[in-house]
């Protein structure tokens, strides 16, 4: 069975998927297992999330950051009590495996690339009968977006309803497992994600900070330390502001075209580029929509224009990460010292 963008009617597929009447065979995913007694404490020390107490059958989201706090990897994790299953973008699999291998040292952890053995099936509700069971636990990753996980912090006040589960299915059995299922294409799944303002790897570049994408809510535990990039995460959140922000765009549909990922964004009437489109979709209720990463300096009520191959597309913002994001700690001003009787 092949991954398909759609099966002939993307809008009907999208509605069916949103109502739980169909499932989606997702794009190929990189899958790495970490097996051994030290796996959770080891991953806990390397990644942004609190993982040491992850119970069998539970899942989480975590980030691998560079020393400056920029996102290198967005990782979905399922634990079965014996192994942790790490899911990443396919092109990131080998770089992550190579780096993790270097970090094992004397820890009781064994790593294995399992990507060829499994495919990922998404749905808006858990379907344990579809998932491969490991150590008696169906391998299902539950997306916590738009909630806030323990130790997390959400900047957005945008009202969103979103439910998403990803199931690991044996590649050799996918035809029989999905044979009787109603299928939706990946365009349907992506439209639901974009409508929810849910960032994925396409929103991430070499400069991305977790704060810019509101990922402190689901992928970072602010009370744990001792992982690479932790100091930068705390500094921006407590004392500073992220230089960019994720925003949701309602697009003018009169051009009957969607922008491409990477298309430049300008404030209406200005020639200065202030951001780029990171995802775009045609939603069955909302029409043409997109996610974009733009400069924090752009006013929240500014009308925007997207320069696409089909022409200039007008866009209005619906705020995900506000300009005020960060600086949650107010540093008190010290009183001026008096010298020689003068202040």
Record the tokens describing residue 12, joined without a space. 């009907």
Rounded CA separation 268/315 (Å): 9
Run of H or E residues at 113: strand 110-113
DSSP, res 261: T
What is the pLDDT at residue 343?
A: 47
Q: At what angle do helices 186-195 and 10-18 cross, to 10 degrees?
A: 60
- Give pLDDT tens digits for 240-254: 999 999 999 999 998
Tell me: pLDDT of 338 over 90: no
Which of 52, 55, 25 lies closest to 41, judged by CA?
A: 52
What is the pLDDT at residue 112?
A: 99
Who wins on pLDDT, 25 or 224? 25
- Give pLDDT tens digits for 150-184: 999 999 999 999 999 999 999 999 999 999 999 99
Rounded CA separation 214/70 (Å): 13
Which of 138, 165, 12, 155 lies closest to 76, judged by CA?
A: 165
> What residue ranges do the domains of the chain occupy?
10-213, 243-319
* Cα distance between the two ends of the chain: 78
Split at pLDDT 50, 70, 90, the class of 342 is low
Split at pLDDT 50, 70, 90, the class of 255 is confident
Mean pLDDT of the chain: 96
Rounded CA separation 277/324 (Å): 22
DSSP, res 19: T
What is the pLDDT at residue 78?
A: 99
Q: In a 10 Å sphere around its CB, with 0-12 CB exposed, 13-18 middle and 19+ buried, how is residue 35 labelled?
A: middle
Q: Write 232-236 long-range contacts (CB < 8 A, 24+).
A: 232/65, 232/67, 232/68, 232/69, 233/48, 233/65, 233/69, 233/209, 236/69, 236/209, 236/211, 236/326
Domain 243-319 sits in CATH at 2.40.30.110
The pair phi, psi for residue 68, each rounded to 5°, is -90, 5
What is the pLDDT at residue 226?
A: 87
For the entire predicted model, the pTM comes to: 0.94
Domain covering 10-213: architecture: 2-Layer Sandwich (3.30)
């Amino acid at each position: 069975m092949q991954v398909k963008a759609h099966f002939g009617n993307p809008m009907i597929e999208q509605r069916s998927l949103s109502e739980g009447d169909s499932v989606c065979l997702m794009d190929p995913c990189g899958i790495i297992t970490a097996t051994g007694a030290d796996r959770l404490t080891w991953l806990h020390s390397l990644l942004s999330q609190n993982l040491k107490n992850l119970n069998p059958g539970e899942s989480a989201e975590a980030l691998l950051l560079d020393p400056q706090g920029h996102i290198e990897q967005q990782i979905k994790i399922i634990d079965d009590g014996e192994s942790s299953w790490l899911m990443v973008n396919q092109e990131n699999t080998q770089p992550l495996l190579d780096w993790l291998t270097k970090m094992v040292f004397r820890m009781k952890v064994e790593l294995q690339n399992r990507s060829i053995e499994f495919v990922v099936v998404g749905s808006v509700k858990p379907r344990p009968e579809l998932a491969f069971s490991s150590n008696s636990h169906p391998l299902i990753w539950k997306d916590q977006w738009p909630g806030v996980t323990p130790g997390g912090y959400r900047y957005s006040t945008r009202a969103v309803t979103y439910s998403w589960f990803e199931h690991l299915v044996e590649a050799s059995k996918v035809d029989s497992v999905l044979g009787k299922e109603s299928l939706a294409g990946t365009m349907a799944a992506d439209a639901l994600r974009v409508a929810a303002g849910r960032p994925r790897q396409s929103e991430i570049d070499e400069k991305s900070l977790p704060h810019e994408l509101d990922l402190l809510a689901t992928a970072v535990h602010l009370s744990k330390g001792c992982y690479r990039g932790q100091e930068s995460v705390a500094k921006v959140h407590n004392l500073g502001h992220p230089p960019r922000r994720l925003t949701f765009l309602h697009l003018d549909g009169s051009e009957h075209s969607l922008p491409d990922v990477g298309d430049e964004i300008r404030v209406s009437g200005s020639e200065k580029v202030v951001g780029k489109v990171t995802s775009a979709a045609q939603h069955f209720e909302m029409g043409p929509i997109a996610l974009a990463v733009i400069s924090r300096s752009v006013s929240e009520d500014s009308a925007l224009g997207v320069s696409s191959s089909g022409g200039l597309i007008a866009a209005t913002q619906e705020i995900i990460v506000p300009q005020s994001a960060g600086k949650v700690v107010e540093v008190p001003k010290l009183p001026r010292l008096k010298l020689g009787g003068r202040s």
